[in-house]
Amino acid sequence: MQLEFPASPISERNSSMTLTRKTALAVGVLFILTFITSIAGVMIYGPVLSDPNYITSSGADTRVFAGAFLELLLILTNIGCATVLFPLLKKQNEGLALAYVAARLVECTFILIGLLSLLAIVTLRQGATAADSGSLVLIGKALHSIHDWTFLLGPGLTDGVGTGLILGYLMYSSGLVSRRMALFGVIGGPLLAISGIAVLMGVIPQASAPQGILTVPEVIWEAFLGLWLTFKGFSPSPITSDYREPAGGARVLTAPAAAI
């Protein structure tokens, strides 16, 4: 025969703290990994990004494949940040939490298209002949331009709306992290998006100094968020008060039948 006893308030609080800390650690590590994979990916791509005639060159295809692999990891970590946070953020504002997930998916779609364009350059280079060199250079430049546009519209614009403005506002209003630092997202996200729109409209060139300056607050926000959640965790907030392990709220004690 079984007797059921309600879980004590202390055990419930401990369960809540444990799950909250696990969530914060997971998201923090994922944000740090987005930094590592995005920066390392660009560095490793190297020649295919800097050489407009890469498609007819001797090539460094292994580096391109390595860069593409890192960008695939970037896609996974980006989506992971949003999906792990969603169950908690929806307690603050379900609509905005869903919008953040959607923004991450859109951003990752652009990243995927961009890396496919670079892989297409490698495929064409490997099958190129001397007679095809003229037309291949034009195709290579077109594919390179696709990558540049996807980088602008994904990490350079959508990220500002999603991880900057939306996530920054959710973190600010919930108090899950320092509100002063969350303002870097609330302000930096729109600045990043504005810089992307300015490039799109031809006001400033891509990768220019003004665009770089407008990107700084968003970079600070995302770096802070990764480090804060990894080493400190969420700040006390009303939305974490009932965020518990899904194991159930009753402890079960099995007693010998003779004792009942």
pLDDT tens, residue by residue, 54-83: 888 877 889 999 999 999 999 999 999 999
Alpha helices in the chain (DSSP H): 9-45, 47-50, 61-126, 133-153, 159, 167-174, 179-200, 209-231
Q: What is the mean pLDDT of the chain?
A: 86
- Rounded Cα distance, 191 and 19, in Å: 34
DSSP 156: I
The amino acid at residue 5 is F
The pLDDT of residue 243 is 62
What digits encode the pLDDT tens for the residues 104-150? 999 999 999 999 999 999 998 887 666 667 788 889 899 999 999 99
Phi, psi of 252 (to 5 degrees): -110, 130
The pLDDT of residue 130 is 63
Q: Contacts from 70-73 at CB under 8 Å and sequence distance 24+? A: 70/37, 70/38, 70/40, 70/41, 70/44, 71/37, 71/38, 71/41, 71/111, 71/112, 71/114, 71/115, 72/115, 73/33, 73/37
Of the pLDDT bands very low, low, confident and very high (cuts 50, 70, 90), residue 47 is confident
- Tell me the CA distances in angstroms from 153 to 109, 147, 157, 158, 202, one per residue in order: 10, 10, 5, 6, 14
Query: Which range, of 69-73, 134-138, 204-208, 230-234, averages the lowest pLDDT?
Result: 134-138
Q: Which of 136, 161, 113, 129 has its CA nearest to residue 54?
A: 136
- Rounded Cα distance, 245 and 209, in Å: 47
Query: Which range, of 44-53, 72-81, 154-163, 210-219, averages the lowest pLDDT?
Result: 44-53
Q: For 196-222, what is the mean pLDDT?
A: 94
The pLDDT of residue 49 is 87
What sign does the CA torsion over 236, 240, 246, 249 have? positive
Q: Which two tokens stand for residue 29?
A: 């590590």
The pLDDT of residue 55 is 86
Q: For 167-189, what is the mean pLDDT?
A: 96
How many CB atoms are located within 10 Å of the residue 169 CB? 19
Report which of residues 135 and 27 the model is more confident about: 27
3, pLDDT greater than 60: no
Q: For 216-230, what is the mean pLDDT?
A: 96
Share of the chain above pLDDT 70, in %: 84
Q: For 185-201, what is the mean pLDDT?
A: 96
Q: Is 31 within 8 Å of 226 (Cβ atoms)?
A: yes
171, pLDDT greater than 90: yes
Report which of residues 23 and 256 the model is more confident about: 23
Phi, psi of 92 (to 5 degrees): -85, -50
Q: Is 54 within 8 Å of 125 (Cβ atoms)?
A: yes
Q: ∠20-25-27 over CA atoms, to 5°?
A: 95
- Rounded Cα distance, 135 and 53, in Å: 11
254, pLDDT greater than 70: no
Report which of residues 246 and 88 the model is more confident about: 88
Q: For 244-251, what is the mean pLDDT?
A: 47
The pLDDT of residue 242 is 65
Q: Which two tokens stand for residue 18?
A: 């444990």
